[in-house]
Structure 1
Amino acid sequence: MRLWPRSLLGQMLLAVAAVLLIAQAISAALLWQAAEARREASVLNAAAFAFIVRGEPRSEGDGRWRGEGRRRHLIDRFTRPLRIARTDSFAPLPGDEIDPERAEALRAVVEDQGMAVAELIVVERPIARDPYILDRPRLYRRLVAGDGEPRRVLVAALKRSDGEGWMIARVPIPPRQRGVIGSILLQTLVIYILLVGLHFLLLRRITRPLAALTERTEAFARTQSPDGQLTPDGPHDVRRLIAAHNAMEARIAALLDEKDVMLGAIGHDLKTPLSALRVRIESVEDEGERAKMAATIEDITRSLDDILSLARVGRASEPPERVDLAALAAAVVEEFEDMGDPVTLGQTTRMALPVHITWLRRALRNLIANAVRYAGGAEVALLREGDRAILRVDDKGPGIPEGRIAEMTEPFTRGEASRNRETGGAGLGLTLARAIAEQHGGELALANRAAGGLRAEIRLPLAAGTMPGADRKDAA
């Protein structure tokens, strides 16, 4: 399962959502921490209020109670201290949680108000385990009423330096604020709707013309036709990009048209004098010399045909036609058999694909001709491997040195150094086969066989939309 989306829109939205989630999580943690700090301060202030105000009442003019009014408003209805209890001795009950940190904090508050503290013990226990509260049923019912959540009580026992006995203050510990998380979740939802929605609209305005431009570029790569150019749309930068791409398409198409015109002129200007030479050599009396001259002219003509064919690959004037590849392979093999070449047809699988029949037949002929020339024979097969159709040509020749396999598909590269057509040709056969395979959205693969010889494969995709000019349903 892919979690990271491929599109720019999906990646940007996911990034925004992830950052927002992290920010809201940090915000929630900070708010929760602040709420817990306020809750703790409220409990300690209530205990200090009980000791200072209720423990030993003073006159209104006593300066030590100047903070009384300020402290009262810090004590909410959940943390109002209970009546001070006095006892000669104090000992925590079994299971009490003695809290020295709270004791130090509470000591600092009461000593700041001028109360001398000899000893201070702070414990926390469930309300249901506190003897003082259990002895007072009405107080117990009032404290445990509410949402039913188990309540706890802070018990602080203080012994003054200038007095005898202990003062015991009890402060109900308020429940944790549930509304904090709910408000954060609601806030996150609202922010997600506004922020992610706004980003979606903005990114959609950018990515929609970019997606159209991508499809247009792919179509132009297949057809090299300037028809169907896009109308600039989207933000200013994207509109400029589309306009520049349209201008580039028009320029490329014009250059390709000029190239075709030039190649046609070259072919005509060269083939005409070659044809005239072919006629003139008939007057040569020496038959051997005449045959050599005719072979040279034929060699030049075939090389010229190969060069012109290589230059025109990808500029087919006709759309691809749906053909049975098995029948096409059998027809090409039959041509070589008719000429007496040892070419056999091996395993085949019936597959129909939209292809440029003339070009694909030319590529297969080149591979078989190479095998016949260098290895003395070939075996042709048509297989299906995953989502690809494989036109395979095997031979039992010497193969190709591993270090030269990649360069053998470059123009004018041959397996042996001579330029004799009988031993190697002009070195354009594999180059032309590779160009034709790529024209069909595939590739040419060369590899030495473990049993000896060379394996050449034209691998054509069966997926939709990979053939130049092919209907997407036909290419499926």
Structure 2
Amino acid sequence: MIRRFAPLDTLRSRIALTIVAAMLASLALNGLFVQVAGTWGRPPIDRTGLLEQIAANARVIEAAPVELRPQLAVAASNPMLEVIWNKQRADFHLPPGGTRVTPDSSPLQQLLGDTPRDIETFNPSDWPDDSPYAHYVALVQLRDGSWLSFTPPERSWGLDSNVRIAIIIALGLIATLLVAWIATRQLANPLQRFASAARRFGGDLRAPPIKVEGPHEIRQAIIAFNAMQAQIRHFLSERTQMLAAISHDLRAPLTRMRLRSEFMDDLEQQRKMVRDIEEMQTMINAALGFFREETHREQTTAFDLSELLQTIVDDFRDQGIAVDFTGPAHLVYDGRPLGIKRVIVNLLENAVKYAQKPGIELMCDEHLVCIEVSDEGPGIPESALDQVFDPFYRLETSRNRDTGGVGLGLSAARAIVREQGGELSLRNLSGGGLVARVELPGTRRANAAER
């Protein structure tokens, strides 16, 4: 029987590894703190074993003959503790201000036995400033009245336990946050690229597939998305080709119908049939042009959107049509200039045919570039503001051969805008007139001062 093993790189495994890594990093920082922080970061003196070493040396030297004690003290010295024996306390040349240790409060008294002893301690601050002898010193009096001094070359104990616990907790939190930040970045980057690619596909059906990366669950989602993206492109391509083929094939019967109409005796009926055939031919030509543009989309490029709009205004002015323009003098935008030009020209032509005083206003912010084409006219019934975008739909007032049009202009314009990730909408002005609003994603690069 074939057994299927679960993938190793999953969200669950990454979360578990993050927890383990945070714990290991916390231990590593704690160890580094103990080793590198030096003497102040080590445990208190009663946990270093130094007191036990002092007590053991004191008992051994105390039990030895007096003449052997100096040699035993030298032999007992080590890099961590210097031991000196003298008969008199004054022979140590210690500064005044030592601290006498009471038997009740000293663990060293308990380690030395039941007999109370005189024990004094000195801190580096008890010596004069810049003194080379400023060390921690412990004096222990033996039973015969002689003295032992114990001097560690360096301080081997330090912070209070509460302070050390707080530092260890802080280091643990720092390690956890650091590991969590790195882990979340490793997890979030594939998700961010996935979301960016999905948004890009919404504005560009020819966007490349998403790179498969990240944990197992994210990789499976990316694979499914890439498959869906390929299916959508294939479906749209087949649909476009099929409709284009149908429109193309309709030309032949229309041509035959036109030839047959030439042999009609009734001239009135012949005129009506020729008119209908010509209208159908116009619709077919418009449909073929629409499908052709769907198949061959324009590449995205950087261009001056403001300059493009002013060029359109100049073209209309050359035809004797005044179009007002309001907006920045320059605005570099990443998009499809020919498509945007076709949209704006279509909207202006509609404003010229059905209204008067057309105008263009260009606005932008960090996230949106907006182009509004307005006019002063009768507007559109509220119920038809969305319906006019349906293919081959025309209002009653536009069904006039003199005005032209087959009802594909607004449909093609909205398709061009949406193909670039934007939106085209219409609204009536309260004082009369219509506003066509083109909203594009704010991928502008520069913006000069408003004219």
Coarse TM-score class (shorter-chain normalised): 0.5 to 0.7
1:383 aligns with 2:365: no
Equivalent-residue separation in structure 2 for 1:242 and 1:195 (angstroms): 30
Match among 167, 173, 193 for residue 212 of structure 1: 193
Equivalent-residue separation in structure 2 for 1:277 and 1:299 (angstroms): 13
CA contact 1:229–1:246 (8 Å) conserved in 2: yes
Equivalent positions of 1:70-219 (< 5 A) are 77=105, 179=160, 182-219=163-200
SS of the residue 1:225 aligns to = coil
Equivalent-residue separation in structure 2 for 1:197 and 1:323 (angstroms): 43
> Which residue in the other structure is 2:243 paired with?
263
> Which residue in the other structure is 2:341 paired with?
361
CA RMSD of aligned residues (A): 4.5
Amino acid at match of 2:206: S
> Which residue in the other structure is 1:393 paired with?
373
Match among 200, 205, 211 for residue 230 of structure 1: 211
Equivalent-residue separation in structure 2 for 1:257 and 1:293 (angstroms): 34
CA contact 1:346–1:379 (8 Å) conserved in 2: no
| Structure 1 residues 261 and 423: alpha-carbon distance in aligned structure 2, compared to 1, 3 A threshold | closer
| Structure 1 residues 353 and 421: alpha-carbon distance in aligned structure 2, compared to 1, 3 A threshold | farther
SS of the residue 2:376 aligns to = coil
Equivalent-residue separation in structure 2 for 1:357 and 1:287 (angstroms): 48
SS of the residue 1:452 aligns to = coil
Once the 2 structures are TM-superposed, how far is the Cα of residue 319 of structure 1 from its aligned partner?
1.0
Once the 2 structures are TM-superposed, how far is the Cα of residue 331 of structure 1 from its aligned partner?
5.5
Equivalent-residue separation in structure 2 for 1:331 and 1:282 (angstroms): 46
CA contact 1:313–1:435 (8 Å) conserved in 2: no
Once the 2 structures are TM-superposed, how far is the Cα of residue 238 of structure 1 from its aligned partner?
1.9
Give the percent of matched residue pairs that are identical in Structure 1 and Structure 2: 33
> Which residue in the other structure is 2:57 paired with?
none
Residue by residue over 1:434-462, the C-alpha shift from the partner in whole angstroms, topping out at 9 and shown as x without a partner, is 22222233322423224321122323344
Residue by residue over 1:204-231, the C-alpha shift from the partner in whole angstroms, topping out at 9 and shown as x without a partner, is 3432322232233234334323645423
CA contact 1:373–1:424 (8 Å) conserved in 2: no
Equivalent-residue separation in structure 2 for 1:216 and 1:255 (angstroms): 20
Unaligned runs of 5+ in 2: 1-14, 20-103, 107-124, 126-158
Equivalent-residue separation in structure 2 for 1:330 and 1:453 (angstroms): 22
| Structure 1 residues 475 and 317: alpha-carbon distance in aligned structure 2, compared to 1, 3 A threshold | farther
CA contact 1:224–1:315 (8 Å) conserved in 2: no
Equivalent-residue separation in structure 2 for 1:429 and 1:267 (angstroms): 17
CA contact 1:332–1:361 (8 Å) conserved in 2: yes
CA contact 1:463–1:475 (8 Å) conserved in 2: no
| Number of residues of Structure 1 aligned to a counterpart in Structure 2 | 301
CA contact 1:346–1:381 (8 Å) conserved in 2: yes
| Structure 1 residues 326 and 239: alpha-carbon distance in aligned structure 2, compared to 1, 3 A threshold | closer
Amino acid at match of 2:205: Q
CA contact 2:248–2:284 (8 Å) conserved in 1: no
Equivalent-residue separation in structure 1 for 2:191 and 2:270 (angstroms): 63
Equivalent-residue separation in structure 2 for 1:280 and 1:358 (angstroms): 41
Equivalent-residue separation in structure 2 for 1:284 and 1:354 (angstroms): 56
1:247 aligns with 2:227: yes
What is the TM-score normalised by the length of structure 2? 0.53
Comparing 189-198 with 303-312, which one deviates more in the overlay? 303-312
> Which residue in the other structure is 1:455 paired with?
435
Comparing 390-399 with 290-299, which one deviates more in the overlay? 290-299
Residue by residue over 1:419-440, the C-alpha shift from the partner in whole angstroms, topping out at 9 and shown as x without a partner, is 5555795544333322222223
Residue by residue over 1:62-97, the C-alpha shift from the partner in whole angstroms, topping out at 9 and shown as x without a partner, is xxxxxxxxxxxxxx849xxxxxxxxxxxxxxxxxxx
What is the TM-score normalised by the length of structure 1? 0.50
Equivalent positions of 1:244-323 (< 5 A) are 244-278=224-258, 281=261, 289-307=269-287, 316-323=296-303
Amino acid at match of 1:381: I
Equivalent-residue separation in structure 2 for 1:288 and 1:330 (angstroms): 47
| Structure 1 residues 447 and 184: alpha-carbon distance in aligned structure 2, compared to 1, 3 A threshold | farther
CA contact 2:305–2:333 (8 Å) conserved in 1: yes
Once the 2 structures are TM-superposed, how far is the Cα of residue 312 of structure 1 from its aligned partner?
6.4
Amino acid at match of 1:296: D
| Structure 1 residues 325 and 378: alpha-carbon distance in aligned structure 2, compared to 1, 3 A threshold | farther
Unaligned runs of 5+ in 1: 1-11, 17-75, 79-146, 148-177, 465-472
Equivalent-residue separation in structure 1 for 2:313 and 2:271 (angstroms): 29
Equivalent-residue separation in structure 1 for 2:441 and 2:164 (angstroms): 55
Equivalent-residue separation in structure 2 for 1:475 and 1:346 (angstroms): 16
Q: Which protein, 1 or 2, shows the higher relative CO under an 8 Å CA cutoff with sep ≥ 6?
A: 2
| Structure 1 residues 360 and 285: alpha-carbon distance in aligned structure 2, compared to 1, 3 A threshold | farther
Amino acid at match of 1:458: V
Equivalent-residue separation in structure 2 for 1:475 and 1:224 (angstroms): 29
